[in-house]
Structure 1
Amino acid sequence: MIRWLHDLCYEQGSAAFMIFSKNLFLLCLVALLTGCAGTYRTYAEMFELAFTPATGAALPFSELTAPNPDYLYVRLGDQPRAVMGLLFIEQAQFKWTSANNIVLVTEQGRIVRSLGLPNDLLHTSNRTADPIKAKRFDNSEWTRQLDWSAGEFGYTVTSTFTEQANETLTFFGQQINAKKVIETLRYDNPTAYLRFDGAWQNIFWYDETSGKLLQSQQQLAPGTPAYEIIFISEIARQLQQSGVQIAGDAI
């Protein structure tokens, strides 16, 4: 239905219909994501977040520590950094939306599905065996099948993991000791497209004290730009709980 709306809007060239179809897209999205007992956001909060443009690529500390929906900073390749807000938590999946209606679905910080991208990640299998969930990395291996909307389905990807301690991240002028986890992904299937990149890496940075994921670099498919994701609301919470004094307008 969403593809039909897009095609019809393109053919007619109607600006009014484009606005209607985008709003209907969000209504359909909400209908798809609701209905689970774990959902805790109200409809009013969801629509306020979905229809209000992001306030910018950097939010003040006071807003990040207020009782607002959680936020991410997201950068795709060399593009400017954007803000995404938490729309839902359902069945241990966090569903984030941007002002231009892109949706990323994460589990323990890993992107497992997307909506609104040129080549969406449609499905990730064997998610319960992901070492990211157990936070056991050295000598770990994980195999799953991935589906992408560009026409590749059931492709096998295998990951191995290594850890590096004594990393340092800096946010709001404060240094945070972190552990870096490097995930090396291998893509062995015969492909529908000519590829020269059968392997790539994702990187995850965890707070050494709390074990919380603070930042990641994730590539959803071989040959595509990586997403830099900063879990900025979690970072603000960690700093606030540590008792560090940070000005409310700090960004």
Structure 2
Amino acid sequence: MRNLPLLLICLLLQACTATQKGLSDAATQAFLGPDDIQVTAERINALPYASMYLRVADGQQIFVVLGFNENGQQKWITSDKAMVVTQNGRVIKTLGLSDNLNQVSNLQQDPLRNPLQLTEGAGWTRTLSWTEQGQLRAGEAVSRFTRLKDEVLQLAGKPVACRVWQEEVSMASNGKSWRNTFWIDTTSGQVRKTEQDLGADYLPVTTTILKPAKS
């Protein structure tokens, strides 16, 4: 489903109603403000697009909307035309960042495909390709999942009970290891929040799904 051909233009045009003006203000603040963005639940729910907060490394938390939802992959677009692609909550590709995740293999075996069926010690092996300071890197990553204490997240004004899973990842080729964390809605099985690295212990990204994409 294509969502976003002229979204930013539409949101930033002069509007006739108070609701439209509110959305325009929200978009302007979200994409241009210097501080972490916090969008009200009313504005999130009024916007007819899936949305999330995104933070890359120690940068500003920004508000992004879903551009495309195709073949089980969600493509999130930033105001400066960068793109973050997710599948089952996992970031699988980025474009337009200072460094980027280029490819993740073996996605059909990712335990996050069935998050409510995740079990202690579930494993996964895949090849990652990414850049560091513009230099291409690649290697085979091996994961093991461990369940942490459940948490309740406040998302768009609503409490969402979540199972929390930590993914311990290692890459033998360079000796790197790191942890990814996923918050999974106990009712829908949707991944609602993540903390994950785009490379091997490199370039952390946090995503928080405010309004999930419709399947």
Q: 1:77 to 1:154 in 2, by over 3 A?
A: closer
Which of residues 200, 207, 210 is equivalent to 2:188? 210
Aligned pairs (5 A) from 1:35-74: 39-41=1-3, 43-45=5-7, 48=10, 54-56=28-30, 57-66=37-46, 68-74=48-54
Quickly say closer, same or farther: Cα 1:49–1:144, change in 2 above 3 A.
Answer: farther
In the other structure, the counterpart of 2:128 is 146
Quote the offset at 1:108 in angstroms.
Answer: 0.9
Structure 1 residues 129-144: aligned runs within 5 Å: 129-135=109-115, 136-144=118-126
* TM-score normalized by the length of structure 1: 0.67
Equivalent AA in structure 2 for residue 91 of structure 1:
N
Higher helix share: 1
The answer to whether the Cα contact below 8 Å between 2:129 and 2:199 also exists between their aligned partners in 1 is no
Q: How far off its partner does 1:167 sit?
A: 2.0
Q: How far apart, in 2, do the equivalents of 1:42 and 1:201 lie?
A: 33
Match of 1:234 in 2: 212
Q: Could you report, residue by residue, the CA deviation over 1:39-86 in whole angstroms, capped at 9, with x for unpaired residues? A: 333634476579996542122212222352211101223322111111
Residues of 1 paired with 2:208 and 2:152: CA distance? 14
Rate the CA distance shift 1:221–1:50 in 2: closer, same or farther, 3 A.
Answer: farther
For residue 172 of structure 1, report the CA deviation from its aligned partner. Answer: 5.5
- Aligned 8 A contact 2:4 2:67 in 1: no
Structure 1's 188 and 50: CA in aligned 2 closer, same or farther, altered over 3 A? farther
Aligned to 1:200, what secondary structure does the other structure show? strand
- The residue matched to 2:39 in structure 1 has which SS? coil
- Give the equivalent residue in structure 2 for 1:170: 154
RMSD (Å) for aligned C-alpha atoms:
2.8
Compared CA separation, residues 80 and 162, structure 1 to 2 (3 A): same
SS in 1 for 2:60: coil
CA contact (8 A) 2:140 2:172 kept: yes
| C-alpha displacement of 1:209 | 2.7
Point out the structure with max Rg over C-alpha. 1
Question: Which moves more between the two structures, 41-50 or 218-227?
Answer: 41-50
Work out the percentage of aligned pairs sharing the same amino acid.
23
> Pairwise mapping of residues 1-251 of structure 1 onto structure 2 (< 5 A)?
39-41=1-3, 43-45=5-7, 48=10, 54-56=28-30, 57-66=37-46, 68-135=48-115, 136-149=118-131, 150-171=134-155, 175-190=159-174, 198-234=176-212
Displacement after TM superposition at 1:109 (Å): 1.0
Structure 2 residue runs without a partner (length 5+): 14-23, 31-36
TM-score (norm 2): 0.77
Structure number with the higher strand fraction is 2
Q: 3-state SS of the aligned residue for 1:59?
A: coil
Q: Deviations over 1:179-223 (max 9, x none)?
A: 101001101114xxxxxx711000001122332222110111134
Residues 203 and 124 from structure 1, CA distance in 2 versus in 1: closer, same or farther, beyond 3 angstroms? same
User: In the aligned structure 2, how far is the partner of 1:187 from the partner of 1:217?
Assistant: 18
Amino acid at match of 1:93: Q
